[in-house]
Amino acid sequence: MLPPIDEIVSNFEFLDEWDDRHHYLMELGRKLPPLPEEAHNEANRVRGCVSQVWLETHVDRSGPEPRLHFRGDSDAHITKGVVAVLIAFFDGRTASDAARADALGLFQTLGLSEHLTAQRSNGARAMMDRIRADAEGVAAAA
């Protein structure tokens, strides 16, 4: 099970060396619940990532405002860790809050912006864009 985003941020702050943060990122990826095989489909695939990435969005409409829940997976260990960080950051937010959330700021705080390769950074932005688009679509329909 993924730790809350505040715990992830604290753990990143505690780890001084990028190598340690790199290993922690992979550990977070291993904590993602398995994505069912049927969810590894074109509708869930995130375009713009060099690695294969799938994000599945579920909408909980039981409250006054729809909340988003995410599941995801990747075929690359580091990228799967990035998926885990984004899920920890966005999961459970209202659609309108998720649409406004500053995931790029989070990546800067964690030091991921400066330590991920250009290709992985582009992939992370593609994931953020996908989540934001899903959130905006749900918020507009609410």
What CATH number should be reported for the domain holding residue 136?
3.90.1010.10
Encode pLDDT of 43-79 as tens digits.
Answer: 999 998 789 999 999 999 999 999 999 999 999 999 9
Encode pLDDT of 36-45 as tens digits.
Answer: 999 999 999 9
Q: Please state, in angstroms and rounded to a whole number, the distance separating the CA atoms of residues 122 and 103.
A: 13
What is the amino acid identity at position 122?
N
SS3 46: coil
SS3 34: coil
78 is known as an active-site residue: no
Answer whether 112's CB lies under 8 Å from 85's CB.
yes
How many domains is the chain built from? Answer: 1
Q: Is 80 exposed, middle or buried (0-12, 13-18, 19+ CB in 10 A)?
A: buried
Domain carrying residue 49: 5-141
**Which listed residue (8, 28, 32, 49) is catalytic?**
49
- The count of residues in the chain is 142
